[in-house]
Amino acid sequence: MSELALRAQKLDGADQLAPLRSRFVLDDVVYLDGNSLGALPAHVPDRLADVVRRQWGELRIRSWEESGWWTAPERIGDRIAPLVGAAPGQIVVGDSTSVNVFKALVAAVRIAGAGRDEILVDATTFPTDGYIAESAARMTGCSLRAVVPGEVGAALSGRTAAVLLNHVDYRTGRLHDLPALTAAVREAGAVAVWDLCHSAGALPVGLDEHGVGLAVGCTYKYLNGGPGSPAYLYVRRDLQDRFDSPLPGWNSHVEPFGMRGAYEPAPGAVRGRVGTPDILSMLALEAALEVWDGVPIEAVREKSLALTDFFLECVGEYVPSGRVEPVTPLAHAERGSQVALRCADAGDVMKRLIERGVVGDHRAPDILRFGFTPLYVGFADVERAGRVLGEVLGA
């Protein structure tokens, strides 16, 4: 057994989060793609069966009240809140990330008010965020300017209405400076909108602490909500009465069953709702979030950094020189919970890794991505992944 394998055993033996692995449905595959789709929490199938067979099958329409269906978006939002550093009453769950980005960005421009006619968008963003930003700019009569996060401070002006940023770069795993960037945006009189898809459930976010105005995120990555599970929208409490959604719906009406012709928004984060919630996937998410009971996000972050450090060490030891180049920052303050490696034949290499039981993914043209979910990934997994990568690239 190699020295790295022995160290992995010792690290796993000392890992206080290791018992959480038993809360998931896993096999002997090394699963390093939780930054795309989280593993299935073991208790979710039975919980979802109850939702289908009893709540829907027996109670039927009564479940909107008796099973708490109607209040699920806010109730589940409050379960997510501690994971992103938010007090209760500021997060509502529903719709997709894309829809919530659109709601948040248009609302941010409206909050910023007259005289501000420019939107800044992260130039390295996930493509959909860019598409949505372009559409929101057209709708609000704003110009759109793409800037890399490090240049946001210099790009801000009295014209800036909103700034759409990613907390963690989906391609490289770079963690952007949410506190400093949010402070700069607020100082300029604009509204920051953060996409938390690759940070929520992987590291502390501190939405309330850092004065973030609006934020969105998905729940199927580190939150393990399942494929297509509903996203969420955060609206800071002092902005809620000014949140003017471009998608007003009967679910966000102050009197949803009044069926009035004129729209009047409900108070609070509820005004981020639109239509009927997708109950089956929403309640699967609610069950999945129970794996977080008693788990401090600070401990998750500590293990995440240890896992990614160890993986980089294994890559340096096992992979032939010159075959890969890390593009994820080495500095902890600049790293999310994934490691991206530049590799000339990334697509083919990832196929061969998957054939050998190491599952990550790749992003064209040349990026291998490995996501580290501390709730169920261990150090022996990391050592095996690095060793198999070295064997594949050395073949």
Which residues are catalytic, by number? 126, 195, 220-221, 369
DSSP per-residue codes, 198-216:
TTTTTS---TTTTT--EEE
Phi, psi for 29 (deg, rounded to 5): -75, 140
What's at 3, amino acid-wise?
Answer: E
CA angle 82, 307, 373 (to 5 degrees): 45
The phi, psi pair for 164, rounded to 5°, reads -100, 120
CB atoms within 10 A of CB 61: 9
Q: What is the DSSP track for 264-316?
A: -BPSGGGGG--S---HHHHHHHHHHGGGGTT--HHHHHHHHHHHHHHHHHHHH
Q: Position of tokens 């609302």? A: 107
Count the residues in the chain.
Answer: 395
Half-sphere exposure of 173 (CA within 13 A, CB side): 31
Please report, for residues 12, 52, 265, 288, 318, the alpha-carbon distance to residue 260 in angstroms, rounded to integers and kept in the order given.
59, 32, 12, 37, 66
Helix, strand or coil, per DSSP, at residue 108: helix
Alpha helices in 81-232 (DSSP H): 97-112, 127-140, 152-155, 178-187
Which residues 6+ apart lie within 8 Å of 246 measured at CB? 102, 103, 106, 107, 136, 139
